[in-house]
Amino acid sequence: MNSTGKRGSREGLRRVAPKPAMAVSHSVFEFPLPLGETIDFMTPTEKLFVLSHLGIPAIDTSAWTLDLAGLLATSISLRYEDLGDFPQKRLCTVHQCAGNPLDPMTPTRTIANVEWRGVLLRDILERCGVKRSCTHVWAFGADFGQFGIPPHTSPPQEHYVKDLPLDYALNHDVMVVTHLNGEPLPEKHGYPARLVAPGHYGHNSVKWLCRVEAADRRADGYFTTELYNDPASGTEKAKPAWAIAPESIIVSPSHANEFSDPEMTVWGWAWSASGVRCVDITFDGGRSWVSADVAPREQQSWQRFSYRWQIDGSGVYHIGSRATNSEGQSQPLADARNAVHTVRVVCNLRSA
């Protein structure tokens, strides 16, 4: 393996798998589920967001392989049917987009909760034998092209490439996934197989997976060095956008609701890579807070929270939710990807 990091060997600029035909040759962004309609615990597949920077490949399963290479005792190439030789796993988990990589601190709250089915990456790596010098695994998607959000345009990329620390890949349920919500992956969600890195933002879950490479460093690709890195607090050094920070959304009431009942249930979803310990609700834009009831976590899914609100009087209320994860980290009020979500509602109580 070339570890010099020179531009000619950058991971996104070298082709390591046959180039597929493209069903869609341009970026695809679909957001079919408004926050106020996020009422189901499991997000229907047809309501799952789609973000593909480099288009959507059309891959023939009969010709597809997943190559395992790099710092391994044995390099292997798996066909689609070979994935059935490994133990199968189902995992329900939140799936969240990190947002615009050119504006990473603006919240987008593009979120879903789905069930994946596939095989654990660590089971495959154990069959290969990982060498001691390995520190990271790189995942290559079959998609190719140019990333562009005007006026920004990337150099042409031969692959979408992301990486994960080896410790994370071995000690978490990182999966090579073939099914979504009980059905084979749709083409736009990564068919025939994709990586899923539960607890990490969605850009780390590489679609149309064609290669996993064991390496002694982080990948030097465009989507790891130029995009999806956040400024570290108090310094100019960037850090990768990996673990999902604590976050929550209010589903009901939704923004601009008007109501006249003297009490109502405020509810929504909260999530974090490490799970949510508590959720607090504000009705005055963050000046004061009350504690909501929070449901236990199921696998790595989001958690429902609710609060029975006894309304003091008519007026305009700014209702926000603040999640705190199991490590004690809480959502900031503003200026962050996971800033507190607030809805503005109007209450006109009925006269007695």
Q: Is residue 352 included in any domain, yes or no?
A: no
Domain at 263, CATH number? 2.60.40.650
Cβ–Cβ < 8 Å for 92, 115: yes
Distance CA 202, CA 195 (A): 10
Q: Do residues 175 and 68 touch, judged by C-beta distance below 8 A?
A: no
pLDDT for position 234 = 66
Are residues 215 and 70 located together in one domain of the fold? Answer: yes
Range(s) of the domain holding residue 328: 247-347
> How many angstroms separate the CA atoms of 175 and 194, rounded?
8
Confidence bin at 190 (pLDDT 50/70/90):
very high
Averaged pLDDT of the chain: 93
Confidence band for 235, pLDDT divided at 50, 70 and 90:
low
Instruction: Report the distance separating Cα 306 and Cα 27, nearest Å.
Output: 37
We report the CATH number of the domain holding residue 223 as 3.90.420.10
Q: Are 212 and 66 in contact (CB under 8 A)?
A: yes
- CA 272 vs. chain centroid, Å, equals 11
13 or 139, which is more confident: 139
What would the pLDDT profile of 294-338 be if each residue is shown by its tens digit? 999 999 999 999 999 999 899 999 999 999 999 999 999 999 999
Kindly state whether residue 2 falls inside one of the protein's structural domains: no
Report how many domains make up the chain. Answer: 2
Dump pLDDT digits (tens) for 86-122. 999 999 999 999 999 989 899 999 999 999 999 999 9
What region, left, alpha or beta, does residue 336 occupy, with left being phi > 0 and alpha being psi -120 to 50 degrees? beta
Residue 236 confidence (pLDDT):
62
The secondary element (H helix, E strand) that includes residue 222 is helix 222-225
> In terms of domains, do 47 and 181 share one?
yes
Which tokens hold the place of 208? 């149309």
First-to-final CA distance of the chain: 78
Classify residue 53: in a domain, yes or no.
yes
Query: What does the pLDDT look like over 237-273, one tens digit per residue?
Result: 778 999 999 999 999 999 878 888 899 999 999 999 9
Q: Please say which residue of 189, 205, 240 terminates a domain.
A: 240
For residues 304 and 269, give the distance between their C-alpha atoms in angstroms, rounded to a whole number.
5
Where is average pLDDT lowest: 12-16, 73-77, 105-109, 271-275?
Answer: 12-16
Count CB neighbours of 349 within 10 A. Answer: 14
> C-alpha 36: how far from its chain's center?
20
Q: Are both 49 and 184 inside the same structural domain? A: yes
Across 209-314, the runs of DSSP E, i.e. the strands, are 209-215, 229-231, 238-240, 247-252, 258-259, 263-271, 276-282, 290-291, 293-294, 303-310
| Residue 186: exposure state from Cβ atoms within 10 A (0-12, 13-18, ≥19) | middle
Contact between 262 and 349 under an 8 Å Cβ cutoff? The reply is: yes
Q: Name the 3-class secondary structure at 257.
A: coil
